[in-house]
Amino acid sequence: MKQTEAIIAWTPVRWAELRPETAGQVVVVATPDADGVAKRFAMRSGASSSALAALAEEARIARLFIDFQTLVVRDGIDPQAAHRAFLAIDEYRFRIAPDTEGAEFEDPPEED
């Protein structure tokens, strides 16, 4: 799914008493989130922010990787769990190192 269609939801590890059922977890769900999955988490980003659509493409992609860093470094989400969740976002898959599990090419290289 496109970044502008993706809601990133997580609960920081340190908030285990506040939201024990989702502490340390992250999900990426499509908007609209008809099942309310994202609401079970303490934090949300991505398509849940109206400001995202107003950003230029480069700024949106920077925001995506800043969100990833925030989840992992500030909020204690396991990096591999965050990576697996973010793979649902096209812009993430197309911009991570090509030899990383789950990476894709937006425009596959031509074969020789």
The whole-angstrom separation of Cα 6 and Cα 106 is: 18
Range of the domain at 61: 3-95
Question: If you average pLDDT over residues 29-52, what whole number do you get?
Answer: 92
* Residues 8/85, Cβ–Cβ less than 8 Å: yes
Look at residue 12 and tell me if it is in a domain.
Answer: yes
**For residue 14, what pLDDT is reported?**
97
In a domain? residue 104: no
- Terminal-to-terminal C-alpha distance of the chain: 30
> Residue 52 falls within a domain, yes or no?
yes
Look at residue 40 and tell me if it is in a domain.
yes
Tell me whether residue 82 is in a domain.
Answer: yes
pLDDT the model gives residue 50: 77
Q: What is residue 112's predicted lDDT score, i.e. its pLDDT?
A: 56
Is residue 22 a part of any domain in this protein? yes
- 68 pLDDT above the threshold of 80: yes
The domain tally of the chain equals: 1
Give 15-34 pLDDT, tens digit per residue: 999 999 999 999 999 999 99
The 3-state DSSP class for residue 8 equals: strand
pLDDT higher than 90, residue 42:
yes
CA distances from 46 to 27, 86, 99, 104, 111 (A): 11, 11, 25, 21, 35
Average confidence score pLDDT of the chain: 93
7, HSE (Cβ side, Cα atoms, 13 Å): 21
